[in-house]
Structure 1
Amino acid sequence: MKKIKILFFIYQMGAGGAARTLLNIINNLDRKKYQPVLVTLDYNGSYESEIKDDVIFKKVNTQRLSRSIFKLAKIIRTEKIDIVFSTIPRVNTIAILATRLSFTKAKSVVREASNLDGDFIERLKLRAFGRIYKLSDQVISLSEGVKVNLIERYKLNPKDIKVIYNPIDINEIQKRITTEQLKSEYQALFESNRKTIINVGRLVPQKDQTTLIKAFAKINEQIKSRLIILGEGPLLEDLTTLTQDLNVSEHVHFVGFQHNPYLFFEAADLFVLTSTFEGFGHVLAEALATGTPVVSTNCRSGPAEILENGKYGRLVEVGNVDEIAENILAILNLANQPLNDIIDKGYQRVQFFNADRIVKQYQSTFENLLQ
């Protein structure tokens, strides 16, 4: 039987959630039915080393999206692609246009991963994205909240949107925890009697580590604790200054991007997400997969869907320093049995997002398009 050739197009296989999601889909596709082809711009990405060897991997010789349209169209023709899959708005528009300009029967599938909004000009841009999205054969939203945003801001028809949650590769996470070790410089962070809180995300306003650090300063007054933040970004200097102003710099550690964040999750007492908005909140589900309890802002959207409105983890108001601190303290002060119950429930919940299950939903969507 002829394999279905799916081209996955992304800016680069970098450290973001979109690249992680594509990696999980690509690596878990049924190889008896599918041949994945990955195409990026001319950048090196931190996830490239994790791509399976049987994936056809190509880079177009440009670093500008606008110049990649015809190059991508040529690859679609020469590789005889059946489906073009992309994510991130600007990348999606290029993928849709390239698919049309390939003059082939290839189908276009676009995935929307965030609750984008803004001022009048930004909303006009989203309407423009929506017009191009209507030229695709299928729009996929990674959460119900993002679907609502696609309807409100992009003016898409609800019937044209299919919700498929992010795939969490639980087996790979467990494998990387059991076969790899923290570097010695980081092991020391977990060796004292201090409770350890983990946060993962780019150091940008959206992730709101400012509120997290302010909450941590309150927590540290009541319980010996440590905050470890994984991620890079433009706010590093401002956040570092804030820790100094609040007299907690000795207990807040910025460790940058980590290829294996799961070792940090697994060793921590608590994972905290303080984002002002998300599309899904992928790291929340990954934390649950490592057996780590979570506290998250109830931002739009994703966390409430992952945690089922607080059933599997605590939800707090966005930007509310006191409420965040109070809920973190409540988890850190739990006795072993109730804490283990929370951990067990969280691990059961994350099975709903297991890559095997989610990728089958993608495969069913792909196959229906080609019928």
Structure 2
Amino acid sequence: MFNNKSQSRNDGRIRVLFHITDFNDGGIESSLIQWLRILDRTRFKVSLSVMHTSPAWENRFRVLIPPDVDVEVLVDRPWLKYFQSKRYERRLGKLGRIARDVHNTLAVRPHVAKRAAQLARDVDVIVDFDMSLRRLSGRFDVAWLGVNHFSFDARLGGRPRKIQRLLTQYRRYHGVAALNQHMADEAVRIFEGKLERVIVLPNAIDIESIRERASACHDDIQLTPNGAPYIVSVARLDEVQKDHRTLLRAYAELARRGTVEEHLVIVGNGAYREELQNLARELDVRERVHFVGHQDNPHPIVARASLLVLSSKYEGMPMVLLEALAIGKAIVATDCPTGPREILDGGKAGTLVPVGDIRAMADAMERLLTDIGPREALAVKARTRADHYGIEESNRRLLSFLEAVGAA
């Protein structure tokens, strides 16, 4: 399909451009970093375009980009990024948001389209990692792969007008990638089979790198009093999706039973931090629950935990579970749409509990914390399951898509 592009390569490698709007502190950004690292450089030449340079990009992510990845910032002029800068500073009121929307339509989008066309001349495929370029998809004589990170049902269920609008844009991609089979099935159903191609492309992990980072010294953080053992949760403090309320109530139930000594360590920041701290106080577990904020490298904290808990209402393909598999950690996760069931191999590589079920979560944690046998067995299965998301399998999946659309 794209033979002219393929023939113009000067070293035989497939030139892949990843794109994302900006970098914040979510799982999408972490999964993109993994993709930039794990692609086989004998097969792929990798570049990255970023719409806006956020504070998280400047302070954290820029240094994580592999040195051989060329980075292009699309909105690179002060007058173009004025409103976005105000947004990062949280100084954009209602009128400011209206002005931003007009500014984006009249100035930013045309500029981005021009820059994207320029970049497309030197690549074979654009991986639109957050589908923020969907208005441009299908253009510039390159292959387009749009990556969706969340449940289609959770985001679009009961919204027929939005579904129809997105269908017009999504069907121009040569492929839409879902992170697991459940999400792929949702896409086929919700868009009535009208997308050109739906593929399953799970998040990728560099297993050895994760294990190496997990062994790093983390003595500068005092997690629990006197080094008490702990359960860990690593997630943005966002109760719309992550549901720390259920986790705190389950932990409070566990504490009341008096059967375990583990504290609870919560890694992450977000708008709900104060509310959750107040809830821990109301539940009379504040002395045993420790909010340690965002951590650039949470892997050592996970590695030293007795087990990891994910309490989400819905997910995409949570990186924290993939990374916990690589570390070899016993896991308790809600059986939410989508991600945990597939990642944990139907419950063989971790324990699944119903969403919002306080007692079931408390029971699962208690069972693993009081019986070392099942906990160690899950840890062994976790390390084996991690290989499904490792470098070799991830490269194979992307190459298979590119071959299918004629871009390889």
Aligned pair in 2 of structure 1 residues 119, 309: CA closer, same or farther (>3 Å)?
Answer: closer
- The one-letter code sitting in structure 2 at the alignment partner of 1:344 is V
| 1:255-313: CA deviation from partner (whole Å, max 9, x where unpaired) | 12111111111010010011011112221121121121000111111111111221111
In the other structure, the counterpart of 2:69 is: 55
In the other structure, the counterpart of 2:230 is: 196
How far apart are the structure 2 equivalents of 1:147 and 1:323?
29
Matches within 5 A, 1:144-163: 144-157=181-194, 160-163=197-200
Larger displacement relative to structure 2 (56-65 or 289-298): 56-65
In the other structure, the counterpart of 2:90 is: none
- Conservation of the 8 A alpha-carbon contact between 1:190 and 1:196: no
| 1:38-94: CA deviation from partner (whole Å, max 9, x where unpaired) | 1112223232211110100111223477524542543442552221111234x1424
- Conservation of the 8 A alpha-carbon contact between 1:151 and 1:157: yes
How far apart are the structure 1 equivalents of 2:52 and 2:125?
22
How far apart are the structure 2 equivalents of 1:2 and 1:119?
40
In our comparison, the structure showing a higher alpha carbon Rg is 2
Q: TM-score, normalised by structure 2?
A: 0.82
In the other structure, the counterpart of 1:84 is: 126
Residue 32 of structure 2 is aligned to residue 22 of structure 1: yes
| 1:160-205: CA deviation from partner (whole Å, max 9, x where unpaired) | 1011211121111012123x2114233x52853x431111111112
| 1:195-226: CA deviation from partner (whole Å, max 9, x where unpaired) | 31111111112100000000010111222221
Larger displacement relative to structure 2 (135-144 or 2-11): 2-11
In the other structure, the counterpart of 1:231 is: 268
How far apart are the structure 2 equivalents of 1:118 and 1:207?
15
CA RMSD of aligned residues (A): 2.2
- The one-letter code sitting in structure 2 at the alignment partner of 1:314 is T
Larger displacement relative to structure 2 (116-125 or 339-348): 116-125
Cα distance, 1:358 vs structure 2: 1.1
Aligned pair in 2 of structure 1 residues 277, 69: CA closer, same or farther (>3 Å)?
Answer: farther
How far apart are the structure 2 equivalents of 1:175 and 1:72?
40
Aligned pair in 2 of structure 1 residues 182, 280: CA closer, same or farther (>3 Å)?
Answer: same
How far apart are the structure 2 equivalents of 1:133 and 1:333?
49
- Conservation of the 8 A alpha-carbon contact between 2:148 and 2:176: yes
SS of equivalent to 2:45: strand
Q: Is there any run of 5+ residues in structure 1 with no aligned partner, and where? A: none
Aligned pair in 2 of structure 1 residues 147, 73: CA closer, same or farther (>3 Å)?
Answer: farther
How far apart are the structure 2 equivalents of 1:110 and 1:16?
18
Residue 134 of structure 2 is aligned to residue 93 of structure 1: yes
Give % identity.
Answer: 26
Q: 1:38 aligns with which of 48, 66, 71?
A: 48
- Conservation of the 8 A alpha-carbon contact between 1:297 and 1:318: yes
In the other structure, the counterpart of 1:277 is: 314
Cα distance, 1:95 vs structure 2: 5.0
How far apart are the structure 2 equivalents of 1:250 and 1:23?
36
Q: Which has the higher contact order (CA 8 A, sep 6+)?
A: 2
SS of equivalent to 1:356: helix
- The one-letter code sitting in structure 2 at the alignment partner of 1:129 is L
Q: Is there any run of 5+ residues in structure 2 with no aligned partner, and where? A: 1-10, 76-80, 85-99
